[in-house]
Amino acid sequence: MSNLNLNQELKLEVTHEQIYERLLALEAKVDKLDQSTNEVVKAFNAAQGAFIVLEWLARAVKPIIIVGAFFGAIWLAIDNKFHLK
């Protein structure tokens, strides 16, 4: 029985006001976490957009390099033909 009395003495009464204060503190923490998460998501989406643009540029540059190499080869062939005479 002394164990039961000890447990009753150690029990703390929690009021509605204390629960409400804890709830407000928890809501503030959740709101802060939500804001941080939104910033990370925005940064990730921006990076994803940048990678899409870089992929488009890579697709555009490849044919330009091929055409440039073709015309460069023709120019070198013509230039070498005139200098060999």
pLDDT at 79: 86
Give dist(CA 52, CA 42) in Å, integer.
15
Closest by CA to 53, choosing from 42, 63, 61, is 61
**Domain residue ranges in the chain:** 2-84
pLDDT in tens, the chain (85 residues): 455 555 555 566 778 888 999 999 999 999 999 998 998 899 898 889 889 999 999 899 999 999 999 999 999 998 888 776 5
Q: Which amino acid is at 21?
A: E
pLDDT at 15: 86
CA angle, 12 then 14 then 18, to 5° = 135
pLDDT at 80: 85
**Number of C-alpha atoms within 13 angstroms, CB side, residue 33?**
6
